[in-house]
Each structure stands twice: as structure tokens, then as C-alpha cells.
Structure 1
Amino acid sequence: MPFRVELPQTFADRVAGLGDGEHLAGMWVCSGSPVAAEIAAASGMQWVLIDAEHSPIGLETTTSLLRAMNGYPATPVVRVPVNDTVLIKQYLDLGAQNLLVPMVDTKSDAEAAVAAVHYPPKGVRGVGSALARASRWNAVDGYLGRADEFVSLTVQIESATAVDNAAEIAAVDGIDQIFVGPSDLAASMGLLGQQTHPDVTEAVTQTFEAVKAAGKPVGVNAFDPDQARKYLEAGASFVLVGADVGLMMNGARAWAETWVQG
């Protein structure tokens, strides 16, 4: 009898399974290192973001990182470089089940992302799963008919325009979660590098309210521990609180301060 594969639970399913007051804590992998990805997955963090937008991580590297994380309890989420149908198809086919699409500013942007992750008639995803890791080369029984079960879509609100459109974006059918990016949001507000400026944090919490009113979970990036706790208190269901490269640099600098003379 041929061996059949069952794919892991999606990020959307994990978020939906949270109880009152619970959240998922995660970290970034930006280095492109499978060792770093495996360490992150084994660390106890509940989810890990593979960043293909601002890091030197392409399709082949993403595949290697997903394989390195396979079998660990942390859920991998892949941030694609851009809201592009062709790229999204490729990331899905290589086996990225959980996608984060950046720079979604409008309802039409959100609708385009939804279409890209679904097969016709719901969307426009190209059909090539029999040749791809997504279906484990047809080892997942009935993959085409069940593909929607295996994909989670999060879109990123990270501009003043997107904040204004947050309710419409969150209401789009097929959007599972919203993720708020304070860094680009601050830049779009003329506050570059000031992620914890009161105007920025107010815009973030305003977005939380709009998203939750639409019945969708919301998450946020917050490397400042105090700010992360405030966002959790404000209703964030998932947070990113660190990155592999940042942790390594901070640790290395602290070690150098301890041991380097002069």
C-alpha cells in the first residue's frame, strides 16, 4: 500500500485554537541558515517567521529552512517578498503552507492575495501540485480537492493607508489573520525608526480594534518587551519578539564587552 502523508496543522488553525488570554509567541529567521531555523523551531517558540522580503532568502533556501524545521512543534510562516501571483504560487508549491503577504494597503490588494493562494474557481493558483513538495509529490491524499485546508493566509498592514482601510481588508473572505508592522507604519507616518511613538502605537491599536470587529485575529511585531506586553493586553493573538540575527548580534556584542580589552 502506498504511504500517505498528512500535512501539519496550519497557522490559522493554531490561532483559532487559542483560549481567552492566550497568544502565540514567535521569532524571525532572517539569516537563511537551516541551523538557525532548526534552533528557532526547537527553542520553545510557537511560531517562526521565515523572512523572504528583507532577507537573502529565496525559493531554494526557503525549502531548506522548512525541511530543517519539519517535525518540531513551532509553526513556520513564510513572508513572501511581494504580493505577486507567480511568486505566491511558487512558495505554495515548494511547501509553504502559511504565508504572510506584506504591504497590503487596500481591499483589492487583499483580494489579490486571496486569489493567489486558491485554485479555481475560488482563485487563480496554477495547478502543478503533482510535481511539487506542496502535495509531497502526490503523497497527500486528495491534495487538490483539500488544498484550502492546508493553506493559511495572513496579510500585513504597515502603512497609514492600510490602517485607514483595515476594516475592509480584514473583512475580505479568505484572509485568516492580520499582522501589523509598526516599522513601516512609523515610516509612512513620517516617524521613521520610532515604532513606539505614541502616534504609531495608537494607529496599531486602532487597527487591532478594526480587525477584531471584523472577526479576525490580529498580530504584531514588537521587539521591545514592554511594548509587546502592551499589545498583548490590547488583544494581539500572536507576536514576533525577536530575530535570529538580532539575538546573535546582541549576544556577541555582550560577550565582546565582557572579554575584549581596550
Structure 2
Amino acid sequence: MDLPKNRFKAALKAGQRQIGVWCSIPDPNSIELLANCGYDWLLIDTEHTPIESTEAVALLRAAEPYPTTPIVRPGWNDMVDIKRLLDGGAQSLLIPYVQSADEARAAVAAVRYPPRGMRGVSGLSRASRFGAIKDYNIRAEEEICLLLQLETLEAIEHLDEICTIDGVDGVFIGPADLAASMGHLGNAGHPEVRAKIVETIQRLTAAGMPAGFLSADQEMARAAADAGALFVAVDLDTALLRRSAVARREEWR
């Protein structure tokens, strides 16, 4: 059995924009429904949800038959959490709240086997199809996509150095925490925050680093895409559900 190809990673390398949806509903049926909607990627969020690694694996299975790439966000830049998700079959990870080049290097080490990293070796994990993929431990790195989430002004100060670190495949700008760090808690749409987001995406693009962004505000999502963002989450499952439910209620009031 061959190592599964990571379509998302290949697309970023080719400079092809990838459109996604943020998923926080811990239900395989919800993931399967969205996986069949034509999006390039789905983000399974375990940072701001009660989703545990065992549940994340079930969500990965639900998405697997469809032409979309599931990306998992662990709760923290923690090598144990990262190891469990990788062993569970995740090939693409978005690491939250990376603040420095050292933290970026730690994330890289967590997804690589020794001697290039610190990932614990298991020969019979789901990632290796329980041993069916020949030389999985040697080849796994080829198809692992590591995305780092920069969410504060402090993190952005280290942007140039982070972009030079081998093993980083993309950098995602987190608008909500960035707004908070700029003194605009709860107001990611503030003009100063929008300007900083666009500026940062332009810097990433100029450095040749794929940039990512999330917003249910379609004007802001377009602005990020126009600035060069290659992987853009254009909505959230919970937001889609709530907007649709409220709109239908108003039709009948």
C-alpha cells in the first residue's frame, strides 16, 4: 500500500488557492456532509471545541472518501497531542498560537521522526495503515503539511525568521486573537486589524510562504485572497447553521 498523497500540500506548492470551511461540530455526519460540498479543505478544530483525538480520528474517517483535505488544529503546540493526531492519520496540522521561531522549530520537530525531529515511532498506527504502508516512518514527512498560526503582534514581529524555517509549509493569520493583541478584543473587523492582516499576508506572499486566513466576513475574506492568501476558510459550520436557521425563522415570523 502506498503512502496517501496530500493534495492540499501539493496545491500550496503549486500556488493554487484552496478554499475551506472551519468545522467545530463534533459529528461525523456533519463532516461528511461538508466533505461532499466541493471545498478543498476542512479544518477540524480541537482547540476551541471539546473534540478529543479519538473523536478527531472518527472525523478524519468521515472525510476520507471525498476529494477534500481534512486539516486538524490541535489544542496547543504540544508534541504529545501532535503525535496522537499524526498517528491517528492526520497528514495536515494547523498549530495554534506560535509566538516565535523557537516555537515554530518545536512544531517542526514534533511532526518529524528522529534524527530530524522528535516524533515517537510507532510501526502499527492508523497513519501507516497498521503497518501496510511500506517504509511509512521513512517517508511520512513527504506528505505531512505543517501550518503555523500566528495570532499576535509579537508573533508577527518574528514573521521573517519563521518563514525561513525548513518544514513550515504555510502560515495562517488568526484574526480574533490578533485583534485582541492590538487592543480590539471582539472586533476583528476594526480598520487597524484589517490593515495589519492584509499587510502580513502581503509579507508572507512576498517571502514565498503560503498564507492562510479565516473569516465569515466575505469582504474581509476577499481582501485576504486579493492580498495573496492561498488557503482561505470562507465560513464556519456553526455560523452557516445559525445564519440559515435565523434567516428561515425571520421568513416565517
Query: Normalised by the shorter chain, which TM-score bucket?
Result: over 0.9
Residue 165 of structure 2: aligned partner: 172
Residue 110 of structure 1: aligned partner: 104
Change (3 A) 1:240 1:224: same
| Structure 2: gaps (5+ residues) | none
8 A contact 1:11–1:77 mirrored in 2: no
> Tell me, what secondary structure is at the counterpart of 1:131?
coil
What's the CA shift for 1:255? 1.4
**Which segments of structure 1 move beyond 6 Å, counting only runs of 4 or more?**
none
> Tell me, what secondary structure is at the counterpart of 1:112?
helix
Matched, 1:256 2:249: yes
Matched, 1:231 2:228: no
8 A contact 1:37–1:68 mirrored in 2: yes
State which of 224, 233, 246 in structure 1 corresponds to 2:239. Answer: 246
> Tell me, what secondary structure is at the counterpart of 1:193?
coil
8 A contact 2:6–2:144 mirrored in 1: no
8 A contact 1:78–1:98 mirrored in 2: yes
Matched, 1:34 2:28: yes
State which of 197, 218, 221 in structure 1 corresponds to 2:214. Answer: 221
How far apart in 2 are the matches of 1:147 and 1:215?
24
State which of 70, 75, 81 in structure 2 corresponds to 1:81. Answer: 75
> Tell me, what secondary structure is at the counterpart of 2:43?
strand
Q: Percent identity?
A: 43
TM-score under structure 2 length normalisation: 0.96
> Tell me, what secondary structure is at the counterpart of 2:161?
helix
8 A contact 1:10–1:97 mirrored in 2: no
Question: Aligned partner of 2:81: which letter?
Answer: L
Number of aligned residue pairs: 253
How far apart in 2 are the matches of 1:182 and 1:25?
17
Residue 160 of structure 1: aligned partner: 153
What's the CA shift for 1:84? 0.5
Q: CA-atom RMSD, angstroms? A: 1.2
State which of 73, 78, 84 in structure 2 corresponds to 1:90. Answer: 84
How far apart in 1 are the matches of 2:99 and 2:246?
37
TM-score under structure 1 length normalisation: 0.93
CA distances 1:201-223 after superposition (whole Å, capped 9, x unpaired): 22212222332233211111121
How far apart in 2 are the matches of 1:249 and 1:45?
20
CA distances 1:43-91 after superposition (whole Å, capped 9, x unpaired): 0111100001001111111001000001211111001110011111111
What's the CA shift for 1:241? 1.0
Question: Aligned partner of 2:236: which letter?
Answer: A
Matched, 1:43 2:37: yes
How far apart in 2 are the matches of 1:49 and 1:186?
21
